[in-house]
Amino acid sequence: MVEKSAYFFLGDDFLSKERKVDIIKKELLKDDAALFDLEVLQGKESTPRQLSEVFKRLPAVSKVRLIIIKDIERLNASCKVQLLSFLKNPFPKIYLVLETNNFDIKDSFLVQLSHLCRVVNFQKGRPLDVFSLSQAVASKKSIEALSMLSRLILAGEKSQKILGILLWQWKKIEPRLSKREFRQGLDMLLETDLFIKRGLLKPDLALELLVARLSLSSA
């Protein structure tokens, strides 16, 4: 997949999303092309036939067509399969912007999209720090990571959001890890999720142990 031909927008900062979309429109489309080469779809309302027609349509005025699909997680199963297939064998004259407010770590469709698209995070306020935490963990900066986690917990960040982004980041760095290290880290993440949900450990303690183990682990 050509990195710049498909964007995956995550987060609930709607204003920033719209600003970024406006920038992309100006870069790709001529001033009078919005009526012809721009299409905005809603995930829930989209059908396989509609997607097929949209993906086959050629640009009318600009060099490319821009397709925006909102609430991407609400596509039906057939549409999801169709979209993933297109992303793996894209048509060079089509650019996509795929949008969702929430990233569910158990949604394999969203995880696959994160590997096939250029991910852009639009989290309001503190959630941006969660991504910084995940990067510190991935870089094995244990002291920095634990400090970030402490600040996030004190600020009231939800444990499931922190855990979800850590899992998402771990899957993104899989190529940099040995098979054993990746598997061990994944087991730690899933184990922590289970401990929290079953009340076996307090969320704060479970996350501290997880971050320490992940950022200190070695191949």
Residues 6+ apart with CB under 8 A from 141: 215
Output the furthest CA–CA distance in the chain (Å, rounded): 60
What is the arithmetic mean of pLDDT over 142-169? 81
Q: Is the pLDDT of residue 2 over 60?
A: no
Q: What is the pLDDT of residue 31?
A: 76
Per-residue pLDDT of 172-209, as tens digits, reads 888 888 899 899 999 999 999 999 999 999 898 999 99
Q: What pLDDT band is residue 105 in, cutting at 50, 70 and 90?
A: low
Q: Is the pLDDT of residue 1 over 50?
A: no
Q: What is the pLDDT of residue 219?
A: 40
Q: Is the pLDDT of residue 154 over 70?
A: no
Whole-number Cα distances in Å, 215 to 32, 134, 135, 192, 210: 51, 10, 10, 15, 8
Domains of the chain and CATH, by start: 3-121 (3.40.50.300), 127-216 (1.20.272.10)
Per-residue pLDDT of 33-84, as tens digits, reads 777 899 999 999 999 999 999 999 999 888 899 999 999 999 999 999 999 9
Full 3-state SS string of 10-75? ECCCHHHHHHHHHHHHHHHCCCCCHHHHEEEEEHHHCCHHHHHHHHHCCCCCCCCEEEEEECHHHC
Contact 41, 156 (CB under 8 A): no
Contact 197, 106 (CB under 8 A): no
Beta bridge partner(s), residue 41? 69
Q: Is the pLDDT of residue 218 over 60?
A: no
Beta bridge partner(s), residue 26? none
**pLDDT > 70: what percent of the chain?**
91
Mean pLDDT of the chain: 84
Residues 6+ apart with CB under 8 A from 213: 188
At position 21, the amino acid (one-letter code) is V
| Terminal CA-CA length for the chain | 29
φ/ψ of residue 94, rounded to 5: -120, 130
**Distance of alpha carbon 159 from its chain centroid, rounded?**
18
CB atoms within 10 A of CB 12: 13
